Amino acid sequence: MTFSLVHSRALSGMDAPPVEVETHLANGLPAFNIVGLPDTEVKESRDRVRAAIVQSGFDFPAKKITVNLAPADLPKESGRFDLPIALGILAASGQVDAAKLTDYEFAGELALSGLLRPIRGALAMAWQAGRAQRGFILPTANATQAAAIAEAEVYGADSLGAVAAHLNGVTALPRTPHQTADKTEHADAALPDLKDVKGQHTARLVLELAAAGGHSLLMMGPPGTGKSMLAQRLPSILPPLTDEERMEVWALRSLLPQYMNNLSSHRPFRAPHHSASSVALIGGGHCDIQNNLTQIRNR
């Protein structure tokens, strides 16, 4: 077999569009090319994948290797494609059972030793993989976070060899049990509460109307009149997040590098400085601003 197909996912904001990692082995001078709008981080995966395959005890094929990340018009970034690229090469060279690849999606950055390193946006990808009714194999460090999605079938792996052994039926990877945050956390946590506000009867009434009806609210006035203080207490009178809303919040937070397993059911609140520009608030570049504004209007 000289061709293989591995399912993975990219990141586009909080969305995780599907990516098909196609691998083809051909006769000719040995070469390793990656096409499909890869970023520099993805192009550098050639050296990581080669070393990881050899260090894991497999043979790196001395052929002309072409890896296509489809769709070609979707930008691909970060090292999350290391694992699917390596599995594609192993499947195309007959070292991994290619028939098992259709049941799973893969993401993970490879070390030169073949170990798997954690990635960013694991929860967002697991959410979409669950909707596609496929299992999701990723580094063990991200497995607990991704298992917060009830409909996702998550498997954590420590190395490329462990994933290959699972696909070949040698040693099965244990499924990570589903875990979720306590839904009562919203009510029990010590958050700023609207009941602490003395006076401000009109402003409090407006906050209650906005919270009850789901309306937008614009507060204007000179400094020191209590705008920030009131805004901080608006989440205290909002209903708890629904399951769908909680998944969206967790998927968005999982895009942050420092956010790993700290799942919170609180409604998100951000207090940017009054001098922050529109670019600082909603992203940089004309196209990014227009896209983000369009998404905000559509909500």
155 Cβ neighbours under 8 A, 6+ residues apart? 104, 135, 136, 137, 138, 143, 166, 173, 174, 175, 176
Check whether 276 has a pLDDT greater than 70. yes
Instruction: Give the model's pLDDT for residue 289.
Output: 46
Check whether 298 has a pLDDT greater than 90. no
- CA-to-CA distance for 126 and 110, rounded, in angstroms? 19
- Give the model confidence (pLDDT) of 150-160 as tens digits: 888 999 999 99
Instruction: Give the model's pLDDT for residue 200.
Output: 86
Look-up of token digits 């009149």 = 225
Instruction: Give the model's pLDDT for residue 145.
Output: 83
Which residue, among 109, 147, 139, has the nearest Cα to 263 in the 3D structure? 147
Instruction: Give the model's pLDDT for residue 269.
Output: 84
User: pLDDT band at 258, cuts 50/70/90?
Assistant: low
- Give the model confidence (pLDDT) of 18-72 as tens digits: 999 999 999 999 999 999 999 999 999 999 999 999 999 999 999 999 999 999 9
- CA-to-CA distance for 127 and 152, rounded, in angstroms? 6
Share of the chain above pLDDT 90, in %: 55
**From residue 263, how far is each of 31, 117, 181 by CA, in Å?**
44, 20, 6
Check whether 104 has a pLDDT greater than 80. yes
Residues 205-230 have a mean pLDDT of: 90
| Mean pLDDT of all residues belonging to the chain | 86
- Give the model confidence (pLDDT) of 164-199 as tens digits: 999 999 999 999 998 765 444 444 456 788 888 888
Domain boundaries, the chain: 3-168, 194-281
Instruction: Give the model's pLDDT for residue 246.
Output: 77
Whether pTM exceeds 0.75:
yes
Topology classification of domain 3-168: Ribosomal Protein S5; domain 2 (3.30.230)
